[in-house]
Amino acid sequence: MALAGHEDMGRLPHVRFWKTTRFDLSLERPLVMGIVNATPDSFSTSQPLSSPAEVIAHAQVLLNEGADILDVGGESTRPGAQPLTHGEEWLRIAPVLDELLRWGKPLSVDTYHPQNMQKALDLGVDIINDVWGLRQPHAMQTISSSQCGVCMMHMHAEPTTMQIHPMQEDVIEALTTFFQTQLQLTDQHQIARNRIVLDPGIGFGKKVSQNFHILKFQKLLLQFDLPLMVGWSRKSSLGHVTGLDVSQRLIPSIAAAVLAMERGAGILRVHDVAHTVAARAVWLASV
């Protein structure tokens, strides 16, 4: 994609509220989404969370640290991860959702299984965060029958192979084409635009250079007048350019988060909530 002639794309999206099941979330400042992983191979914490009680306790910590949204996931989508059945995923996340819904805070579910989308929506969750961007059979119909918020992420290929054969085409062009296609479909299914957030999918089937190209030209993705959710937290691309292990990537993660905010991100999906909230406060004081 030619980058000339896009001077007007640096504007913020017109949508200033993200409409979800129970909340209209203001986007006057970037929102911090805390990652609550009920997976045995998560790097959300120094040690895997092996029981629903431990996952719930971690969610309470993130909320106390200032998370605006909690995002619960039961299946790892890191490169090479093996998929779960929808039943296996539901067994991991159901008891967590039951408790977190009682807290009266915005709650997201990270799932691409339409069966679990529907079960979560029946419970009353606010947001479906779908790494497949509503491309699984029946996912679009499931979202259209609800009033939830939805995050549509771009992923090249699928988790077991996405980094073995990463995308080769121009990444901004590919993202633009993908979002155009999916938004045409959401329009056809009468999913209101004020329910939708877009995620460029940092690390999902992209080379290191492509991930940083997205960060550099992130403002071009504001052309859709929709909020952007960005997830740089602890990603391997940060380790590639710094040489730091995943447990040492706090500072690079915060640096990427601040740059993402500067370039128009409306939601930051992170592991380190307290530090991100502090960085956001500094950024807000300067704008």
- Catalytic positions, written as ranges: 235, 269
DSSP at 161? T
Q: What are phi and psi of 86, to 5 degrees?
A: -65, -30
Q: What is the DSSP string of 24-79?
A: EEE-SS-EEEEEEE--TT--SSSS---SHHHHHHHHHHHHHTT-SEEEEE-S--ST
With a CB cutoff of 8 Å and minimum separation 6, the contacts of 20 are 106, 126, 127, 147, 148, 149, 195
Q: How far from each other are the two terminal CA atoms of the chain, in whole angstroms?
A: 30
What span, in angstroms and rounded, lies between the C-alpha atoms of 221 and 12? Answer: 10
CB 96 within 8 A of CB 89: no
Kindly state the helix (H) or strand (E) to which residue 280 belongs, with its residue range: helix 273-286
CB 109 within 8 A of CB 125: yes
CB 68 within 8 A of CB 197: no
Q: How far is CA 220 from CA 55, 144, 184, 217, in A?
A: 37, 27, 19, 6
